[in-house]
Each structure stands twice: as C-alpha cells, then as structure tokens.
Amino acid sequence: MARKILCVAEKPAIARAVATHLSGGSMQTHSIRGNQFVKNYEFDFNFGGIWGSCSVTMTSVVGHLTGLDFERQYKGWLSCPPGSLFEAPVHESVDNVRDKLPIAENIKNQARYSKALFIWTDCDREGEHIGSEVRHQARSGNSRIEVKRAKFSNTERAHVLRAAREPIELDEYQANAVAARIELDLRIGAAFTRLQTLQLQAVVAALKERVISYGSCQFPTLGFVVDRYLRVQNFKPETFWSIKVMLNREGKKVNFLWKRVHLFDRAAVTMMLERCLLAKQTKVTKVNQKPTSKWRPLPLTTVDLQMMGSRFLRLDSQTIMKVAEALYTKGYISYPRTETDQFDKAIDLKKLVEKQLPDNSWGQYAQGLLDGNFRTPRAGRHNDKAHPPIHPVCWVSPNSLAANERKVYEFVVRRFLACCSDDAKGQSTEIEIQYGEEMFHANGLIVLERNYLDVYVYDKWESSQQLPKFERGELFEPTEANISEGKTAAPNYLTEPELIGLMDANGIGTDATMAEHIAKIKEREYVATRARGSGRSAVQELIPTRLGVALVEGYDNVVSGLPNSVSLSKPFLRKEMELRMMEICSGTKTRQDVVQESLDMYRDVFIHTQRRIEMLKAACRKYLIEEAAS
DNA sequence: GCAAGGTC
C-alpha cells in the first residue's frame, strides 16, 4: 500500500472515535513523544473513488494549535504607548504552553510521508480555523500535500464512514473570520487593558498591583450585572390598587382576578368597584374547558445545562462545565459543548434509553419508554452542525461518581429521558365573568397524565384547587368584592442563570466560554456573589463591586459625548463584530476590511478615552475613595 | 501583568 493519508481531528476523543469506526476497531495505537493526550492511530482504509485503499495515520490537535501575539519589543507594558497596539506588528506561533510544540512536530513529520492531509476538526467556525492551522503545519513538512476536510456532525459509525468517502474543501471564509476575531480581540483587549490599568493604578492605592482588564466579552458581562444593580438601587416602590371578587360555592372559595390586574389610581379603582356593586349580579360570560399540555423539554444544550444547573443543582456554571467535561472524558456523557437542540435522525435513541435500565431511580421509567411510551424528541431551532445535544452515552453506577458528578450526570439522564417522553396532559378551565363594566377571570387546572414529569423532577406542574361548576350566561351575586392594595416590588439582583441567558441572547461569548467570562469578572473583582435567602432555597446573586460600578459609570461618561454613543459596557460593539464576521463568512467582506473597520471604530473610542481619562479616574475616586470612606 | 477561543 503505497499511499498514506494523514487525518487530524480537533481533539483526541474524536480521533479515537473516528479511527475506531474506519478501522473496524483494529487500529494500532502509538503515543507521541512529549504530549500525554494526543495519540496516533494507524490502520488501512478504503476511501473509495477519491484515494482508494490507503494506509492511514489518524491523530489530533488539542484545540487551537497556534496563538497570536505582539512582537517582542511590544510585550513590555511600558515599552510603547498602549494606543500603538492597534498597529503594532503581530505574529502567529505555536503556543509553547501545554505541550503544543510536540503536537505540531508530529503533524509536520507525519505529513512528510503522506499524500494527503484529511482534516477532521469540528464543522464550525473555530474548527475551520484550527483546520487552517493544521494545514500550515502539514505544509511545513510537505509543501505539496493535498488538503481535504471531512464534513461530519457526530461520531455515529455510518455518518463517519460517509464523511470519510466524501471529503470537501476547507472553508477559507470561516477560517478568515476567526483570524479577524483573534486579531481584534488581541489588539483591543491589550490596548484598553494597558491603558486603564496603568492610568487607574496611579489614582487609587487600592488598585495598585491590580490588573484592570478590558475584554470585548468581559465588559458587556459586567455591564449586565451593573445595569441590574442600578435598577435595584434606583427603584422606587409604587402603590397600586386592584379589585378582588370572591365567590363561595359548593364549599369552595373561588377568587376571580381582575382583567386590568391593577391600577395606580386609588380614586379610579374605588369608582370602578362602586359601579360593580351597583350592578349587584355578575354574569358568567365564558366557560372554557379544554385539554392542555405541558411540553417536555428540548434536547439539552450547553447554555441550558448551565442555566438549569445553576438553578436546580446549586452549582455555578464553571463548576458545572468542569464536572460535565470530566463526565465526557470518562465516556459517560456526550460532548458537553453544543448549541444543538435537535437530535439527528441517525442516532439510535432507544438504544441509549435501554442503557439506563439498570438504574435504581429511573431504570423503571426507562423500561416504560421502551414498552411503548417512547416519543421522538421535539426538535429545537438550533443546530451547530458540529455536535449533538448533550445526552448520556452509557449507564454509570452512582457509587462510582463524586457528589457533583452524580448531580450533573443525573440531570443529563433525566433530561434525556424526559425528551424521549410524552408531554404532560391536563385539563384547563377558564371562567370569565362580567361584573358591571369590569371583567374578571378564574383559572383551574387538573393534571391528568404526568408522563415526562415523573422523571424530570425539575419541572413543576400541579393541579390547582378544583373549580365548582359554572354555566355560561348564569348570574350570581359574589360573596365578596373589595379593593386590595399592593406595592410594586424591586427587581432582584442578577443571578447566574439570568446572566447566562442575557449573554446567550446578546451573543456574548460562546457556549464554551460564558462560564469563563463570569469567572473572570469575579477574579478581577468587578463583581462579587452573595447568597439571597438561606438553606435549600438560597440563590447566589451577582453584585458589582465599587470598582465594577466605577468602570461602567466612568466609561459611560467618557463616551457620552461621542456622536453614535458607543458604550463599552453594552453588548452592541460585540454584536457588530459578530455581524462583520458573518459578512466574511458570506464573502461580502474580506478579513482585512473587517479588521480595519473595527480597529478604526475602537481606535476612536480609545483616543476619546485617553482625552477624557479624567472622567474615568474621577469615577474611580468617587466610588473607591469617597464611598469607601463614608 | 493584557483578549477570546479552542481543549485536557
């Protein structure tokens, strides 16, 4: 067999899974020198039309292979004005940390003897860029090597075999979009970080030796926390009034709620109630009884895992991701970083359900699914075309898991079984009445079939008190009708699941990094966590520190004079960068265009900040000296 | 001593 193909995946686990399928399980495994994670797998495979029978070496990288940095003379913080980092020369090199050099060497050496490089990185934007990094290494060993990539979105056997026989081209546009992102994040992050750190350290003693970093993701993340904090601080409660109608019938109390909910004008409400009382009788205008259901959850994505996890498992998002990664590495659950909330038709879900039969808590439930209760999961609207939704891969005894691992594993399994179940079914009743000119309603619910709720203990859906009988058109005199008074309540401080939801909705960070950004602004002491409530019902809330508030207020003051008022603590700038990346992907803009445009925009803000640096300093003095003293 | 994104 003369021809050799070099396959390179994005991570060791994919290399192993693909090699196993292509070789039918009979590959040879070799460790590489200098890296404990990456392995080379050797076997023969018939690629069909394109390359025919070949010997194959399948290996991997471990995420990005290279990093971008400034030339040496710009590395010292005092070596140049921070603003010059917008233009300073940069270079890409193999990261010397975490044993990446041996991985690069391995690819270069293997490429020497290979006819073709076959890239198996994830089929997303970052994956295309990692593929281009791999290509660069391979070409340094063999400049004439042919380059292809595999198109795949999971490691099901049939799917992998087809991908192996239908190679496509690397998407240069997507790789370029990522290259632009990398350069912008570096230049903008470093320039602003050095500027504000050097300037603010000199103002307040408390900031000496502290790094005050700026990042296009960490600042908007901080902005969300501060925004909510200010809304809580500035909240003024308002009194409102409402009309309540109650009827005693068949020994049951029925409370009717006002259609207007409440008003802030006491006199008006009093007058409305008086008109009701004048009418004496109320008339039933609607009796609506209909079947209703509570939908089973969607297949699990990373964002949902983090949001539901912080809410129900009492773990912060970073812990959840660490634990999920450990479960993935041990082969218990699928890849935990995914945006996909729809299962591919090719996945044999019943086989996965069957694996859970031995479990003491949910084994019986799983059996029920196999005995006829199984339903095809709902399909959400997201598909990253790289990974399936998070699901259990095999059953694992709770005894062999650490406490946090057990919690996360149990959540993943229960969620998966819930997805494969039927919706909960019930009957809802809505009674609407007219009393004078005003409308009121009462709602009832009877849960008839719990279905997925039996296994998905995190959702609550319970029958309300049963309503007595009403008939459309009937008249009755209410037992009570009066005014009730209430006060609007201040919003709560932001919780971690809420913050993740905001980041997700605004495109701040990715599924894999959102937890890191939150951890980063805690590490920088821009925000702190505090428990709201106590015991089992305690919730962690995020509260900005004085420094966090000072930075947001200071920058808002700085840019308030700019014509299109760009705020560094709002998500808009990041969103704009995302839109420009998409333009590179669609071919309407080049990488150079986008880098130039974005740098011009941020350079404006930067120069403005330098000119009005006093406003930033003043905000820090205000919060860190005056307030600390008072 | 800076970023964000991969992954371990």
| Order of strands across the sheet that contains A116-120 | A28-32, A35-46, A53-60, A4-9, A116-120, A146-149
Q: Which residues of A are catalytic?
A: 335
Residues in CB range of A565: below 8 A, 6 or more apart: A559
Separation between Cα atoms, residue A389 and residue A166, nearest integer Å? 24
- Taking the CA of residue A86 and the C1' sugar atom of nucleotide B3, their distance in angstroms comes to 13
**Confidence at residue A629, expressed as pLDDT on a 0 to 100 scale:** 72
Nearest nt (C1') from A122 Cα: B6
Scanning residues 585 through 604 of protein chain A, those with a beta carbon under 7 Å from any atom of strand B turn out to be none
Q: Which positions on chain B have an atom < 7 Å from some protein CB?
A: 1-8
Q: Is strand B within 7 Å of residue A91 (CB)?
A: no
Q: What is the pairing mode between strands A4-9 and A53-60?
A: parallel
CATH topology of domain A182-234+493-629: Topoisomerase I; domain 2 (1.10.460)
**Confidence at residue A565, expressed as pLDDT on a 0 to 100 scale:** 63
Separation between Cα atoms, residue A367 and residue A160, nearest integer Å? 30
Residue nearest to nucleotide B4 (CA to C1'): A185
- Taking the CA of residue A83 and the C1' sugar atom of nucleotide B1, their distance in angstroms comes to 17
What Cα–Cα distance (Å) separates residue A186 from each residue in A64, A191, A216, A512, A575? 15, 8, 10, 19, 17
**CATH number, domain A302-419:** 1.10.290.10
- Taking the CA of residue A11 and the C1' sugar atom of nucleotide B7, their distance in angstroms comes to 7
- Taking the CA of residue A86 and the C1' sugar atom of nucleotide B1, their distance in angstroms comes to 19
Separation between Cα atoms, residue A630 and residue A626, nearest integer Å? 6
Q: Is strand B within 7 Å of residue A16 (CB)?
A: no
Q: Is strand B within 7 Å of residue A83 (CB)?
A: no
* Domain ranges in chain A with CATH number 1.10.290.10: 302-419
Separation between Cα atoms, residue A154 and residue A426, nearest integer Å? 37
**CA dihedral of residues A163, A166, A169, A170 (deg, nearest 10):** 10
**CATH number, domain A3-65+100-170:** 3.40.50.140
Tens-digit pLDDT profile for residues A117-131: 999 999 999 999 999
Separation between Cα atoms, residue A134 and residue A10, nearest integer Å? 9
Q: Which of A600, A619, A603, A612 is nearest to A559 (CA)?
A: A612
* Domain ranges in chain A with CATH number 2.70.20.10: 239-292+424-457+468-487
The dihedral built from the CA positions of residue A156, A162, A165 and A171, taken in this order, carries a sign that is negative
Q: Is strand B within 7 Å of residue A37 (CB)?
A: yes
CATH topology of domain A239-292+424-457+468-487: Topoisomerase I; domain 3 (2.70.20)
Q: Which of A462, A423, A459 is nearest to A444 (CA)?
A: A462
**Confidence at residue A561, expressed as pLDDT on a 0 to 100 scale:** 72
Pull the structure tokens for residue A429: 């009743």
- Taking the CA of residue A282 and the C1' sugar atom of nucleotide B6, their distance in angstroms comes to 65
Q: Is strand B within 7 Å of residue A218 (CB)?
A: yes
3-state secondary structure of A80: coil
What Cα–Cα distance (Å) separates residue A88 from each residue in A40, A188, A250, A597? 39, 12, 82, 16
Which H helix or E strand runs over A616? helix A613-621
Separation between Cα atoms, residue A200 and residue A434, nearest integer Å? 64
Phi first, then psi: give them for residue A427, nearest 5 degrees. -125, 125
- Taking the CA of residue A270 and the C1' sugar atom of nucleotide B4, their distance in angstroms comes to 58
Mean pLDDT by groups of 10 residues along chain A of 630 residues: 87 94 94 93 93 96 95 94 96 83 96 96 96 97 96 89 96 97 97 96 88 96 97 95 93 92 94 92 93 96 92 90 93 93 91 96 97 95 90 95 95 97 94 93 93 96 87 93 94 95 94 94 96 81 96 93 78 89 95 94 93 94 81
Q: Is strand B within 7 Å of residue A220 (CB)?
A: no
Q: Which of A480, A476, A457, A360 is nearest to A411 (CA)?
A: A457
Q: Write down the residue that tokens 């308030």 correspond to.
A: A560
**Helices (H), ranges, A209-348:** 218-233, 266-279, 302-312, 317-329
**Confidence at residue A67, expressed as pLDDT on a 0 to 100 scale:** 94
Q: Which of A276, A278, A263 is nearest to A434 (CA)?
A: A276
Q: Is strand B within 7 Å of residue A513 (CB)?
A: yes
Scanning residues 42 through 71 of protein chain A, those with a beta carbon under 7 Å from any atom of strand B turn out to be 62-64, 67-70
Amino acid sitting at position A187: R
Separation between Cα atoms, residue A392 and residue A353, nearest integer Å? 9
DSSP A400-449: GS-HHHHHHHHHHHHHHHHHTSPPEEEEEEEEEEEETTEEEEEEEEEEEE
